[in-house]
Structure 1
Protein backbone atom coordinates (compact mmCIF):
# COMPACT_ATOMS: atom_id res chain seq x y z
CA UNK A 1 0.00 0.00 0.00
CA UNK A 2 2.79 2.43 0.86
CA UNK A 3 4.70 1.65 -2.34
CA UNK A 4 1.51 2.33 -4.29
CA UNK A 5 1.29 5.70 -2.55
CA UNK A 6 4.79 6.57 -3.75
CA UNK A 7 3.42 7.16 -7.24
CA UNK A 8 0.15 8.79 -6.17
CA UNK A 9 -0.04 12.59 -6.74
CA UNK A 10 -3.20 12.69 -4.60
CA UNK A 11 -1.47 11.09 -1.63
CA UNK A 12 1.51 13.41 -2.05
CA UNK A 13 -0.78 16.46 -1.90
CA UNK A 14 -2.46 15.06 1.21
CA UNK A 15 0.76 14.43 3.09
CA UNK A 16 2.59 17.58 2.11
CA UNK A 17 -0.16 19.86 3.39
CA UNK A 18 0.82 19.06 7.00
CA UNK A 19 3.45 21.48 8.37
CA UNK A 20 4.94 18.65 10.44
CA UNK A 21 5.87 16.83 7.24
CA UNK A 22 8.97 19.02 6.91
CA UNK A 23 10.20 17.80 10.29
CA UNK A 24 9.68 14.16 9.28
CA UNK A 25 11.46 14.66 6.00
CA UNK A 26 14.48 16.14 7.81
CA UNK A 27 14.92 12.85 9.64
CA UNK A 28 15.55 11.02 6.37
CA UNK A 29 16.58 13.77 3.93
CA UNK A 30 19.54 16.10 4.55
CA UNK A 31 17.79 19.11 3.07
CA UNK A 32 16.53 20.53 -0.19
CA UNK A 33 19.72 22.42 -1.06
CA UNK A 34 23.36 21.49 -1.54
CA UNK A 35 24.46 23.84 1.24
CA UNK A 36 22.22 22.00 3.71
CA UNK A 37 23.55 18.67 2.48
CA UNK A 38 27.20 19.69 2.84
CA UNK A 39 26.75 20.51 6.52
CA UNK A 40 25.30 17.07 7.17
CA UNK A 41 28.03 15.34 5.14
CA UNK A 42 30.79 17.22 6.95
CA UNK A 43 29.36 16.15 10.31
CA UNK A 44 29.23 12.49 9.31
CA UNK A 45 32.80 12.56 8.01
CA UNK A 46 34.02 14.22 11.19
CA UNK A 47 32.30 11.44 13.18
CA UNK A 48 34.23 8.64 11.47
CA UNK A 49 31.71 7.67 8.82
CA UNK A 50 31.82 7.90 5.04
CA UNK A 51 29.06 9.26 2.82
CA UNK A 52 27.26 8.47 -0.41
CA UNK A 53 25.18 11.45 -1.55
CA UNK A 54 22.10 11.19 -3.75
CA UNK A 55 20.60 14.24 -5.44
CA UNK A 56 16.98 13.15 -5.45
CA UNK A 57 15.25 12.84 -8.79
CA UNK A 58 14.27 10.14 -11.26
CA UNK A 59 12.24 9.43 -14.40
CA UNK A 60 13.52 12.50 -16.21
CA UNK A 61 11.78 12.89 -19.59
CA UNK A 62 13.15 16.31 -20.52
CA UNK A 63 16.69 16.74 -21.87
CA UNK A 64 17.11 20.13 -20.20
CA UNK A 65 16.21 18.60 -16.84
CA UNK A 66 18.77 15.84 -17.37
CA UNK A 67 21.41 18.46 -18.17
CA UNK A 68 20.48 20.39 -15.03
CA UNK A 69 20.90 17.21 -12.98
CA UNK A 70 24.35 16.63 -14.48
CA UNK A 71 25.32 20.22 -13.65
CA UNK A 72 24.16 19.80 -10.04
CA UNK A 73 26.10 16.54 -9.65
CA UNK A 74 29.26 18.11 -11.06
CA UNK A 75 29.02 20.95 -8.55
CA UNK A 76 28.24 18.44 -5.80
CA UNK A 77 31.31 16.36 -6.64
CA UNK A 78 33.55 19.44 -6.45
CA UNK A 79 32.02 20.50 -3.14
CA UNK A 80 32.33 17.05 -1.60
CA UNK A 81 35.96 16.84 -2.68
CA UNK A 82 36.65 20.05 -0.76
CA UNK A 83 35.36 18.67 2.56
CA UNK A 84 37.79 17.60 5.29
CA UNK A 85 38.15 13.84 5.26
CA UNK A 86 39.70 12.50 8.47
CA UNK A 87 41.78 9.37 8.01
CA UNK A 88 40.07 6.10 8.93
CA UNK A 89 42.68 3.62 10.23
CA UNK A 90 42.81 0.40 8.19
CA UNK A 91 40.20 1.58 5.69
CA UNK A 92 41.24 2.26 2.11
CA UNK A 93 37.84 3.23 0.66
CA UNK A 94 37.24 6.71 -0.73
CA UNK A 95 35.25 8.51 2.00
CA UNK A 96 33.05 10.55 -0.34
CA UNK A 97 30.84 9.16 -3.07
CA UNK A 98 27.81 10.18 -5.10
CA UNK A 99 24.92 7.86 -5.93
CA UNK A 100 23.27 8.42 -9.30
CA UNK A 101 20.05 7.13 -10.85
CA UNK A 102 20.35 6.78 -14.61
CA UNK A 103 16.70 7.73 -15.01
CA UNK A 104 17.67 11.13 -13.57
CA UNK A 105 20.37 11.42 -16.24
CA UNK A 106 17.93 10.89 -19.11
CA UNK A 107 17.59 7.11 -19.43
CA UNK A 108 13.85 7.45 -20.16
CA UNK A 109 14.25 10.08 -22.89
CA UNK A 110 12.60 9.07 -26.19
CA UNK A 111 14.70 7.13 -28.68
CA UNK A 112 18.25 7.62 -27.37
CA UNK A 113 17.63 7.79 -23.62
CA UNK A 114 20.01 4.97 -22.58
CA UNK A 115 22.83 6.41 -24.70
CA UNK A 116 22.25 9.91 -23.27
CA UNK A 117 22.28 8.59 -19.71
CA UNK A 118 25.45 6.58 -20.32
CA UNK A 119 27.25 9.60 -21.76
CA UNK A 120 26.10 11.75 -18.83
CA UNK A 121 27.38 9.09 -16.46
CA UNK A 122 30.72 9.21 -18.27
CA UNK A 123 30.85 12.98 -17.74
CA UNK A 124 30.18 12.58 -14.01
CA UNK A 125 32.69 9.73 -13.66
CA UNK A 126 35.37 11.84 -15.35
CA UNK A 127 34.64 14.71 -12.95
CA UNK A 128 34.64 12.34 -9.98
CA UNK A 129 37.92 10.66 -10.91
CA UNK A 130 39.58 14.06 -11.18
CA UNK A 131 38.22 15.04 -7.76
CA UNK A 132 38.94 11.79 -5.92
CA UNK A 133 35.27 10.94 -5.45
CA UNK A 134 33.56 7.62 -6.16
CA UNK A 135 30.34 7.12 -8.14
CA UNK A 136 27.80 4.32 -7.63
CA UNK A 137 24.91 3.77 -10.02
CA UNK A 138 21.67 3.20 -8.14
CA UNK A 139 19.21 0.45 -8.96
CA UNK A 140 15.65 1.36 -9.86
CA UNK A 141 12.62 -0.69 -10.91
CA UNK A 142 13.10 -3.89 -12.91
CA UNK A 143 12.40 -2.23 -16.28
CA UNK A 144 15.75 -0.40 -16.05
CA UNK A 145 17.97 -3.19 -14.72
CA UNK A 146 19.40 -4.48 -18.00
CA UNK A 147 20.14 -1.02 -19.39
CA UNK A 148 21.66 0.15 -16.11
CA UNK A 149 24.00 -2.83 -15.76
CA UNK A 150 24.96 -2.54 -19.43
CA UNK A 151 25.99 1.09 -18.84
CA UNK A 152 28.04 0.09 -15.79
CA UNK A 153 29.82 -2.68 -17.71
CA UNK A 154 30.61 -0.30 -20.57
CA UNK A 155 32.03 2.43 -18.38
CA UNK A 156 34.01 0.14 -16.11
CA UNK A 157 36.46 -0.22 -18.99
CA UNK A 158 37.36 3.45 -18.32
CA UNK A 159 36.45 3.68 -14.63
CA UNK A 160 37.01 0.26 -12.99
CA UNK A 161 36.03 1.71 -9.59
CA UNK A 162 32.49 2.57 -10.76
CA UNK A 163 29.96 1.01 -8.38
CA UNK A 164 26.61 -0.63 -9.07
CA UNK A 165 23.62 -1.65 -6.98
CA UNK A 166 21.91 -5.04 -6.98
CA UNK A 167 18.59 -5.74 -5.24
CA UNK A 168 18.19 -9.12 -3.57
CA UNK A 169 14.40 -9.23 -3.85
CA UNK A 170 14.71 -9.81 -7.62
CA UNK A 171 14.91 -13.45 -8.65
CA UNK A 172 17.71 -12.65 -11.10
CA UNK A 173 20.11 -11.14 -8.59
CA UNK A 174 22.07 -14.25 -7.65
CA UNK A 175 23.07 -14.65 -11.29
CA UNK A 176 23.88 -10.94 -11.53
CA UNK A 177 26.12 -11.22 -8.45
CA UNK A 178 28.14 -13.99 -10.09
CA UNK A 179 28.86 -11.64 -12.96
CA UNK A 180 30.30 -8.96 -10.68
CA UNK A 181 32.83 -10.80 -8.52
CA UNK A 182 36.11 -9.88 -10.19
CA UNK A 183 38.81 -7.92 -8.37
CA UNK A 184 37.87 -4.30 -7.70
CA UNK A 185 34.20 -4.73 -8.54
CA UNK A 186 32.19 -2.52 -6.18
CA UNK A 187 28.66 -3.83 -5.63
CA UNK A 188 26.15 -2.37 -3.20
CA UNK A 189 23.80 -5.18 -2.23
CA UNK A 190 20.45 -4.04 -0.87
CA UNK A 191 17.09 -5.71 -0.44
CA UNK A 192 15.09 -3.48 -2.78
CA UNK A 193 12.37 -0.87 -2.34
CA UNK A 194 10.30 -0.78 -5.53
CA UNK A 195 6.93 -2.39 -6.10
CA UNK A 196 7.53 -5.53 -8.19
CA UNK A 197 5.27 -8.49 -9.10
CA UNK A 198 5.83 -11.96 -7.67
CA UNK A 199 6.85 -13.23 -11.10
CA UNK A 200 10.15 -11.35 -10.84
CA UNK A 201 10.59 -10.61 -7.13
CA UNK A 202 10.28 -12.29 -3.76
CA UNK A 203 7.34 -10.88 -1.80
CA UNK A 204 7.89 -12.11 1.76
CA UNK A 205 10.43 -10.46 4.02
CA UNK A 206 11.97 -13.78 5.00
CA UNK A 207 12.47 -14.79 1.38
CA UNK A 208 14.10 -11.45 0.59
CA UNK A 209 16.49 -11.84 3.53
CA UNK A 210 17.39 -15.39 2.49
CA UNK A 211 18.11 -14.17 -1.03
CA UNK A 212 20.16 -11.29 0.38
CA UNK A 213 22.35 -13.71 2.34
CA UNK A 214 22.83 -16.03 -0.65
CA UNK A 215 23.83 -13.07 -2.80
CA UNK A 216 26.11 -11.69 -0.12
CA UNK A 217 27.89 -15.05 0.17
CA UNK A 218 28.61 -14.97 -3.57
CA UNK A 219 30.08 -11.48 -3.32
CA UNK A 220 32.08 -12.24 -0.18
CA UNK A 221 33.62 -15.34 -1.80
CA UNK A 222 34.58 -13.30 -4.87
CA UNK A 223 37.44 -10.86 -5.41
CA UNK A 224 35.35 -7.69 -5.47
CA UNK A 225 34.39 -5.11 -2.87
CA UNK A 226 30.96 -5.83 -1.35
CA UNK A 227 28.98 -2.92 0.06
CA UNK A 228 26.47 -4.36 2.53
CA UNK A 229 23.43 -2.09 2.49
CA UNK A 230 21.25 -3.32 5.33
CA UNK A 231 20.06 -2.27 8.78
CA UNK A 232 18.85 -5.78 9.60
CA UNK A 233 20.63 -7.28 12.66
CA UNK A 234 20.37 -10.76 11.11
CA UNK A 235 22.12 -9.60 7.93
CA UNK A 236 24.78 -7.70 9.87
CA UNK A 237 25.54 -10.73 12.07
CA UNK A 238 25.75 -12.92 8.96
CA UNK A 239 28.11 -10.40 7.36
CA UNK A 240 30.45 -10.62 10.35
CA UNK A 241 30.48 -14.41 10.09
CA UNK A 242 31.30 -14.28 6.38
CA UNK A 243 34.01 -11.67 6.95
CA UNK A 244 35.68 -14.01 9.43
CA UNK A 245 35.22 -17.09 7.25
CA UNK A 246 36.58 -15.47 4.08
CA UNK A 247 39.22 -13.44 5.95
CA UNK A 248 38.13 -10.05 4.71
CA UNK A 249 39.79 -7.19 6.51
CA UNK A 250 38.13 -3.78 7.02
CA UNK A 251 39.57 -2.52 3.72
CA UNK A 252 37.78 -5.17 1.64
CA UNK A 253 34.11 -4.45 2.35
CA UNK A 254 31.89 -1.81 3.90
CA UNK A 255 28.52 -1.38 5.54
CA UNK A 256 26.04 1.11 4.15
CA UNK A 257 23.05 2.50 5.98
CA UNK A 258 20.47 5.18 5.32
CA UNK A 259 20.69 8.64 6.83
CA UNK A 260 18.30 8.84 9.77
CA UNK A 261 18.04 5.10 10.41
CA UNK A 262 19.91 3.17 13.15
CA UNK A 263 22.37 5.93 13.89
CA UNK A 264 23.54 4.11 17.00
CA UNK A 265 24.36 0.99 15.03
CA UNK A 266 26.28 3.05 12.49
CA UNK A 267 28.39 4.53 15.27
CA UNK A 268 28.91 1.14 16.93
CA UNK A 269 30.25 -0.43 13.76
CA UNK A 270 32.44 2.58 12.99
CA UNK A 271 33.88 2.52 16.52
CA UNK A 272 34.72 -1.16 16.04
CA UNK A 273 36.86 -0.26 13.03
CA UNK A 274 34.38 -1.16 10.30
CA UNK A 275 33.96 0.97 7.22
CA UNK A 276 30.49 2.52 7.44
CA UNK A 277 29.03 4.67 4.69
CA UNK A 278 25.82 6.67 5.16
CA UNK A 279 23.52 7.13 2.18
CA UNK A 280 22.51 10.80 2.35
CA UNK A 281 19.80 12.15 0.01
CA UNK A 282 18.94 15.78 -0.62
CA UNK A 283 16.77 17.78 -3.00
CA UNK A 284 13.19 18.83 -3.51
CA UNK A 285 12.03 15.55 -5.06
CA UNK A 286 11.93 13.77 -1.72
CA UNK A 287 8.42 12.28 -1.80
CA UNK A 288 9.11 9.02 -3.65
CA UNK A 289 12.24 8.41 -1.61
CA UNK A 290 10.43 9.00 1.69
CA UNK A 291 7.54 6.65 0.90
CA UNK A 292 9.94 3.86 -0.05
CA UNK A 293 11.76 4.32 3.27
CA UNK A 294 8.44 4.08 5.12
CA UNK A 295 7.64 0.86 3.27
CA UNK A 296 10.96 -0.72 4.26
CA UNK A 297 10.50 -0.45 8.03
CA UNK A 298 7.19 -0.39 9.94
CA UNK A 299 8.94 1.63 12.65
CA UNK A 300 9.47 4.44 10.15
CA UNK A 301 5.77 4.46 9.30
CA UNK A 302 4.80 4.50 12.97
CA UNK A 303 7.10 7.47 13.59
CA UNK A 304 5.59 9.36 10.64
CA UNK A 305 1.95 8.64 11.49
CA UNK A 306 2.40 9.54 15.16
CA UNK A 307 3.88 12.91 14.24
CA UNK A 308 1.18 13.70 11.67
CA UNK A 309 -1.63 12.59 14.03
CA UNK A 310 -0.35 14.64 16.95
CA UNK A 311 0.06 17.77 14.82
CA UNK A 312 -2.87 17.59 12.38
Structure 2
Protein backbone atom coordinates (compact mmCIF):
# COMPACT_ATOMS: atom_id res chain seq x y z
CA UNK A 1 0.00 0.00 0.00
CA UNK A 2 1.58 3.34 -1.03
CA UNK A 3 2.55 5.70 1.76
CA UNK A 4 3.02 9.44 1.48
CA UNK A 5 4.23 12.28 3.67
CA UNK A 6 2.67 15.70 3.09
CA UNK A 7 4.32 18.78 4.58
CA UNK A 8 1.69 21.44 5.19
CA UNK A 9 -1.96 21.64 6.24
CA UNK A 10 -3.37 24.38 3.99
CA UNK A 11 -6.14 24.00 1.45
CA UNK A 12 -4.11 22.24 -1.23
CA UNK A 13 -2.29 20.06 1.29
CA UNK A 14 -5.59 18.95 2.82
CA UNK A 15 -7.20 18.29 -0.56
CA UNK A 16 -4.17 16.28 -1.68
CA UNK A 17 -4.15 14.24 1.53
CA UNK A 18 -7.85 13.42 1.23
CA UNK A 19 -7.51 12.50 -2.44
CA UNK A 20 -4.69 10.07 -1.67
CA UNK A 21 -6.46 8.66 1.39
CA UNK A 22 -9.70 8.08 -0.47
CA UNK A 23 -7.78 6.08 -3.08
CA UNK A 24 -6.60 3.73 -0.32
CA UNK A 25 -3.12 5.17 0.24
CA UNK A 26 -1.70 5.87 3.69
CA UNK A 27 -0.91 9.53 4.34
CA UNK A 28 1.00 11.35 7.05
CA UNK A 29 0.22 15.07 7.23
CA UNK A 30 3.03 16.97 8.93
CA UNK A 31 2.66 20.45 10.41
CA UNK A 32 3.82 22.26 13.50
CA UNK A 33 0.31 22.19 14.92
CA UNK A 34 -0.36 18.55 14.08
CA UNK A 35 -3.73 19.46 12.58
CA UNK A 36 -5.22 18.64 9.21
CA UNK A 37 -8.00 16.70 7.51
CA UNK A 38 -9.57 13.69 9.20
CA UNK A 39 -9.72 10.32 7.45
CA UNK A 40 -9.01 6.74 8.56
CA UNK A 41 -6.01 6.65 6.20
CA UNK A 42 -4.58 9.99 7.38
CA UNK A 43 -2.24 10.35 10.34
CA UNK A 44 -1.70 13.91 11.55
CA UNK A 45 1.73 14.56 13.04
CA UNK A 46 3.06 17.59 14.90
CA UNK A 47 6.62 18.18 13.71
CA UNK A 48 8.77 21.10 12.62
CA UNK A 49 9.82 20.25 9.06
CA UNK A 50 13.02 22.18 9.68
CA UNK A 51 14.15 19.23 11.83
CA UNK A 52 15.71 17.27 8.99
CA UNK A 53 16.65 14.19 10.99
CA UNK A 54 13.20 13.80 12.51
CA UNK A 55 11.49 14.37 9.17
CA UNK A 56 13.78 11.90 7.38
CA UNK A 57 13.01 9.27 10.02
CA UNK A 58 9.29 9.92 9.62
CA UNK A 59 9.54 9.65 5.83
CA UNK A 60 11.59 6.46 5.80
CA UNK A 61 9.83 3.90 3.64
CA UNK A 62 7.43 6.46 2.15
CA UNK A 63 6.84 6.49 -1.59
CA UNK A 64 6.52 10.26 -1.83
CA UNK A 65 7.30 13.40 0.12
CA UNK A 66 5.01 16.25 -0.93
CA UNK A 67 6.35 19.70 -0.11
CA UNK A 68 3.27 21.88 0.31
CA UNK A 69 4.74 24.05 3.05
CA UNK A 70 3.92 27.75 3.02
CA UNK A 71 5.74 30.07 5.45
CA UNK A 72 4.34 33.58 5.99
CA UNK A 73 4.32 35.45 2.68
CA UNK A 74 6.61 38.31 3.63
CA UNK A 75 9.26 35.95 5.06
CA UNK A 76 9.89 33.80 1.98
CA UNK A 77 13.44 35.01 1.18
CA UNK A 78 14.56 34.18 4.73
CA UNK A 79 12.42 31.18 5.67
CA UNK A 80 11.88 29.24 2.45
CA UNK A 81 15.50 28.20 1.66
CA UNK A 82 16.23 26.49 5.00
CA UNK A 83 12.77 24.93 5.23
CA UNK A 84 12.71 23.62 1.67
CA UNK A 85 16.31 22.53 2.00
CA UNK A 86 15.38 20.47 5.04
CA UNK A 87 12.40 18.87 3.30
CA UNK A 88 14.44 18.04 0.20
CA UNK A 89 17.24 16.60 2.32
CA UNK A 90 14.77 14.47 4.26
CA UNK A 91 13.36 13.12 1.00
CA UNK A 92 16.87 12.26 -0.20
CA UNK A 93 17.76 10.51 3.04
CA UNK A 94 14.51 8.55 3.15
CA UNK A 95 14.66 7.46 -0.48
CA UNK A 96 11.24 8.95 -1.23
CA UNK A 97 10.25 10.74 -4.41
CA UNK A 98 9.92 14.51 -4.04
CA UNK A 99 6.91 16.50 -5.30
CA UNK A 100 6.83 20.26 -4.83
CA UNK A 101 3.90 22.64 -5.04
CA UNK A 102 5.23 25.73 -6.79
CA UNK A 103 3.74 28.91 -8.20
CA UNK A 104 4.30 31.30 -11.09
CA UNK A 105 6.49 33.81 -9.27
CA UNK A 106 9.76 32.35 -10.56
CA UNK A 107 9.02 33.32 -14.16
CA UNK A 108 9.05 37.03 -13.50
CA UNK A 109 7.50 39.55 -15.92
CA UNK A 110 6.43 38.12 -19.28
CA UNK A 111 4.80 39.50 -22.40
CA UNK A 112 3.61 36.13 -23.65
CA UNK A 113 1.59 33.15 -22.47
CA UNK A 114 3.79 31.12 -20.15
CA UNK A 115 4.77 27.50 -20.66
CA UNK A 116 6.96 25.28 -18.51
CA UNK A 117 9.92 26.06 -20.78
CA UNK A 118 9.81 29.82 -20.15
CA UNK A 119 12.96 31.03 -18.36
CA UNK A 120 12.87 31.50 -14.61
CA UNK A 121 13.74 35.18 -14.80
CA UNK A 122 12.15 36.61 -11.66
CA UNK A 123 13.45 40.03 -10.65
CA UNK A 124 12.05 40.17 -7.11
CA UNK A 125 13.23 38.34 -3.97
CA UNK A 126 10.18 36.08 -3.56
CA UNK A 127 10.25 35.07 -7.21
CA UNK A 128 13.99 34.41 -7.17
CA UNK A 129 13.80 32.23 -4.08
CA UNK A 130 10.96 30.14 -5.49
CA UNK A 131 12.90 29.65 -8.72
CA UNK A 132 15.99 28.65 -6.77
CA UNK A 133 14.12 26.02 -4.79
CA UNK A 134 13.13 24.22 -7.98
CA UNK A 135 16.61 24.59 -9.42
CA UNK A 136 18.07 23.01 -6.27
CA UNK A 137 15.66 20.09 -6.57
CA UNK A 138 16.48 19.71 -10.27
CA UNK A 139 20.20 19.54 -9.48
CA UNK A 140 19.54 16.77 -6.96
CA UNK A 141 17.36 14.95 -9.49
CA UNK A 142 19.97 15.20 -12.25
CA UNK A 143 22.63 13.93 -9.84
CA UNK A 144 20.50 10.88 -9.05
CA UNK A 145 20.01 11.76 -5.39
CA UNK A 146 16.21 11.67 -5.70
CA UNK A 147 13.39 11.95 -8.23
CA UNK A 148 11.80 15.40 -8.22
CA UNK A 149 9.00 17.28 -9.94
CA UNK A 150 7.06 20.49 -9.35
CA UNK A 151 3.47 21.57 -10.06
CA UNK A 152 3.16 25.34 -10.54
CA UNK A 153 -0.22 26.79 -9.69
CA UNK A 154 -1.81 30.19 -10.25
CA UNK A 155 -3.91 32.18 -7.78
CA UNK A 156 -6.00 29.68 -5.83
CA UNK A 157 -9.77 29.45 -5.91
CA UNK A 158 -12.08 27.06 -4.12
CA UNK A 159 -12.95 25.78 -0.69
CA UNK A 160 -9.94 26.22 1.58
CA UNK A 161 -8.14 28.64 -0.74
CA UNK A 162 -6.06 31.43 0.77
CA UNK A 163 -5.63 33.98 -2.00
CA UNK A 164 -6.33 37.59 -2.88
CA UNK A 165 -9.76 36.61 -4.15
CA UNK A 166 -10.74 34.64 -1.05
CA UNK A 167 -9.32 37.22 1.35
CA UNK A 168 -10.21 40.51 -0.35
CA UNK A 169 -13.09 39.92 -2.76
CA UNK A 170 -15.13 37.00 -1.46
CA UNK A 171 -16.21 38.40 1.94
CA UNK A 172 -17.03 41.82 0.50
CA UNK A 173 -19.19 40.31 -2.22
CA UNK A 174 -21.12 38.29 0.35
CA UNK A 175 -21.62 41.39 2.49
CA UNK A 176 -22.69 43.54 -0.47
CA UNK A 177 -19.82 45.94 0.21
CA UNK A 178 -17.17 47.60 -1.95
CA UNK A 179 -14.11 45.42 -2.49
CA UNK A 180 -10.83 47.28 -3.03
CA UNK A 181 -8.72 44.88 -5.04
CA UNK A 182 -4.92 45.12 -5.51
CA UNK A 183 -5.34 43.81 -9.05
CA UNK A 184 -6.71 45.10 -12.37
CA UNK A 185 -10.32 44.01 -12.69
CA UNK A 186 -10.63 43.21 -16.39
CA UNK A 187 -7.32 41.64 -17.40
CA UNK A 188 -7.08 37.88 -18.03
CA UNK A 189 -5.48 36.15 -15.07
CA UNK A 190 -4.50 32.58 -14.19
CA UNK A 191 -6.42 30.85 -11.42
CA UNK A 192 -6.05 27.29 -10.13
CA UNK A 193 -8.78 25.47 -8.25
CA UNK A 194 -7.63 23.80 -5.03
CA UNK A 195 -9.01 20.46 -6.18
CA UNK A 196 -7.28 20.73 -9.56
CA UNK A 197 -3.93 21.40 -7.90
CA UNK A 198 -4.43 18.33 -5.71
CA UNK A 199 -5.35 16.21 -8.72
CA UNK A 200 -2.23 17.38 -10.55
CA UNK A 201 0.04 16.66 -7.58
CA UNK A 202 -1.32 13.14 -7.22
CA UNK A 203 -1.09 12.52 -10.97
CA UNK A 204 2.57 13.49 -11.26
CA UNK A 205 3.49 11.50 -8.16
CA UNK A 206 2.10 8.35 -9.76
CA UNK A 207 3.60 8.65 -13.22
CA UNK A 208 7.21 8.05 -14.26
CA UNK A 209 6.87 10.64 -17.01
CA UNK A 210 6.62 13.41 -14.44
CA UNK A 211 10.10 13.34 -12.95
CA UNK A 212 12.88 15.81 -13.66
CA UNK A 213 10.73 18.70 -14.85
CA UNK A 214 8.02 21.13 -13.77
CA UNK A 215 4.37 21.16 -14.82
CA UNK A 216 1.89 24.03 -14.96
CA UNK A 217 -1.25 23.13 -13.04
CA UNK A 218 -4.63 23.00 -14.78
CA UNK A 219 -5.68 26.62 -15.02
CA UNK A 220 -8.82 28.73 -15.26
CA UNK A 221 -8.30 31.93 -17.23
CA UNK A 222 -10.66 34.68 -16.14
CA UNK A 223 -10.79 38.22 -14.77
CA UNK A 224 -11.38 39.37 -11.22
CA UNK A 225 -14.65 40.96 -12.26
CA UNK A 226 -15.95 37.82 -13.94
CA UNK A 227 -15.02 35.58 -11.02
CA UNK A 228 -16.63 38.00 -8.58
CA UNK A 229 -19.83 38.24 -10.63
CA UNK A 230 -20.14 34.49 -10.97
CA UNK A 231 -19.43 34.02 -7.27
CA UNK A 232 -22.15 36.53 -6.41
CA UNK A 233 -24.58 34.70 -8.67
CA UNK A 234 -23.75 31.37 -7.03
CA UNK A 235 -24.24 32.84 -3.56
CA UNK A 236 -27.36 34.85 -4.35
CA UNK A 237 -25.46 37.99 -3.35
CA UNK A 238 -25.75 41.51 -4.77
CA UNK A 239 -23.86 42.33 -7.93
CA UNK A 240 -20.25 42.99 -6.89
CA UNK A 241 -18.92 46.49 -6.27
CA UNK A 242 -15.22 46.44 -7.14
CA UNK A 243 -12.50 49.04 -7.40
CA UNK A 244 -8.77 48.80 -8.01
CA UNK A 245 -6.76 49.60 -4.90
CA UNK A 246 -4.44 52.55 -5.37
CA UNK A 247 -0.71 52.39 -4.65
CA UNK A 248 -1.24 54.73 -1.73
CA UNK A 249 -3.92 52.51 -0.23
CA UNK A 250 -1.69 49.48 -0.65
CA UNK A 251 1.23 51.31 0.97
CA UNK A 252 -0.90 52.33 3.94
CA UNK A 253 -2.07 48.75 4.43
CA UNK A 254 1.56 47.66 4.29
CA UNK A 255 2.28 49.85 7.29
CA UNK A 256 -0.03 47.70 9.40
CA UNK A 257 0.60 44.26 7.83
CA UNK A 258 3.76 43.41 5.82
CA UNK A 259 1.76 41.10 3.56
CA UNK A 260 0.31 44.02 1.62
CA UNK A 261 3.59 45.76 0.95
CA UNK A 262 4.94 42.58 -0.60
CA UNK A 263 2.36 42.76 -3.39
CA UNK A 264 4.31 45.48 -5.19
CA UNK A 265 6.83 42.85 -6.28
CA UNK A 266 4.23 41.00 -8.33
CA UNK A 267 2.57 43.95 -10.11
CA UNK A 268 3.45 42.21 -13.36
CA UNK A 269 1.06 39.42 -12.36
CA UNK A 270 -1.75 41.59 -11.02
CA UNK A 271 -1.68 44.69 -13.23
CA UNK A 272 -0.78 43.13 -16.58
CA UNK A 273 -2.18 40.22 -18.55
CA UNK A 274 -0.67 37.09 -16.97
CA UNK A 275 -1.76 33.69 -18.29
CA UNK A 276 -0.34 30.23 -18.88
CA UNK A 277 -0.65 27.33 -21.30
CA UNK A 278 -1.52 24.22 -19.28
CA UNK A 279 -1.68 21.86 -22.27
CA UNK A 280 1.34 19.80 -21.14
CA UNK A 281 -0.30 18.47 -17.99
CA UNK A 282 -3.64 18.03 -19.75
CA UNK A 283 -2.18 16.09 -22.65
CA UNK A 284 0.23 14.00 -20.56
CA UNK A 285 -1.87 13.08 -17.53
CA UNK A 286 -5.41 13.95 -18.54
CA UNK A 287 -5.79 16.39 -15.65
CA UNK A 288 -8.02 19.28 -16.68
CA UNK A 289 -9.30 22.45 -15.06
CA UNK A 290 -12.65 22.40 -13.31
CA UNK A 291 -15.55 24.52 -14.45
CA UNK A 292 -15.37 27.90 -12.71
CA UNK A 293 -19.02 27.82 -11.67
CA UNK A 294 -18.55 24.39 -10.10
CA UNK A 295 -15.56 25.65 -8.09
CA UNK A 296 -17.49 28.66 -6.84
CA UNK A 297 -20.56 26.57 -6.02
CA UNK A 298 -18.34 24.38 -3.84
CA UNK A 299 -17.17 27.46 -1.95
CA UNK A 300 -20.76 28.53 -1.40
CA UNK A 301 -21.63 25.07 -0.15
CA UNK A 302 -18.74 24.98 2.33
CA UNK A 303 -19.51 28.46 3.63
CA UNK A 304 -23.05 27.26 4.21
CA UNK A 305 -24.92 29.82 2.12
CA UNK A 306 -28.21 28.73 0.66
CA UNK A 307 -28.19 30.26 -2.83
CA UNK A 308 -31.29 32.21 -3.70
CA UNK A 309 -32.35 34.82 -6.22
CA UNK A 310 -29.64 37.36 -6.90
CA UNK A 311 -30.30 40.57 -5.02
CA UNK A 312 -30.37 43.59 -7.36
CA UNK A 313 -27.44 45.94 -6.93
Q: Do they fold alike, i.e. is TM over 0.5?
A: no
TM bucket, shorter chain = 0.3 to 0.5
Q: RCO (CA 8 Å, sep 6+): is it higher in 1 or 2?
A: 1
Return the TM-score normalized by structure 1. 0.37
Return the TM-score normalized by structure 2. 0.37
